[in-house]
Amino acid sequence: MLETSMFSEIGLNHYLVLSALLFTIGMAGILLRRNLIVVLMSIELMLNAVNISFVAFSKYNMNSEGQVMVFFVMTIAAAEAAVGLAIIVSIFKRFKEVNIRFFEHLKG
């Protein structure tokens, strides 16, 4: 299935590449951005990259299980976002700070 030509039609590979790109962008976002909210968004981006990958595989494997998984992932991503935001909010309330560089007291 990977032999499908890249340019003739939109195939699995395109989705996978897209997913990989999104995953990488998400990762890069985490690595590079200083703002915790943006980092949180980057995490969501990574999870969404996973979702794309699941859906694409689901479609090309003719297996709907993948799509079910996406629901799970989305749900949990939401929970995760909630938890993450909760932590960030509590931090912001106390320290008025969402810069990631602020959190470097634990080290060594």
Sites of contact with another protein (CB under 8 A): 2, 19, 23, 26-27, 30-32, 36, 39-40, 43, 46-47, 49-50, 53-54, 56-58, 60-61, 63, 65-66, 69, 72-73, 76, 79-80, 83-84, 86-88, 90-91, 94-95, 100-101, 103-108
Closer of 6 and 65 to another protein (Cβ)? 65
**CB 5, min distance to another protein, A:** 18
CA distance 19 to 14: 8
Among 97, 94, 87, 104, which Cα is nearest to 40's? 87
- Collapsed DSSP state (helix, strand, coil) of residue 14: helix
Output the CA–CA distances (angstroms, integers) from residue 9 to 1, 14, 16, 95, 105, in the order listed: 13, 9, 14, 52, 52
Least CB distance to another protein at residue 6 (A)? 16
Compare residues 5 and 29 and give the one whose CB is closer to another protein.
29
